[in-house]
Amino acid sequence: MNTAQVRCQKNCKNTCSMLNEALRKETASVQFYEEVLDQCNSPEVRNLFVEMIEQRRAEILIIIQKLNEIHARSQSIDGVIQSFH
């Protein structure tokens, strides 16, 4: 999927399509780097891939945290709205 195919839906409720796409791509990049790491014999290059994997995993955690915040906020809003019915 190229960038032109990724569009914000602008009507997010419990999640964000853009964050989900970012999560999917970051997860795929970690899997790719892990596969490359398994085949690499150079300590210098292996260290680079290990650092890249760690960075990507940290970014994945940030995305997951934001998705959780969006979901929790949406549930809170739904609860407030339901209390008026």
Question: What DSSP designation does 15 have?
Answer: S
Q: How confident is the model at residue 19 (pLDDT cuts 50, 70, 90)?
A: very high
In a domain, 7, yes or no: no
pLDDT tens-digit map of 29-78: 999 999 999 999 999 999 999 999 999 999 999 999 999 998 888 766 65
Look at 81 and 26; give whichever has higher pLDDT. Answer: 26
pLDDT at 35: 95
Q: Give the chain's domain count.
A: 1
In a domain, 19, yes or no: yes
Whether pLDDT at 82 is above 80 = no
Q: State which residues form the domain around 53.
A: 14-83
Whether pLDDT at 4 is above 60 = no
In a domain, 43, yes or no: yes
In a domain, 6, yes or no: no
In a domain, 77, yes or no: yes
Question: Minimal CA–CA distance to 55: which of 28, 34, 30, 23?
Answer: 30
**Phi-psi sector, 59: left (phi>0), alpha (psi -120 to 50), beta:** alpha
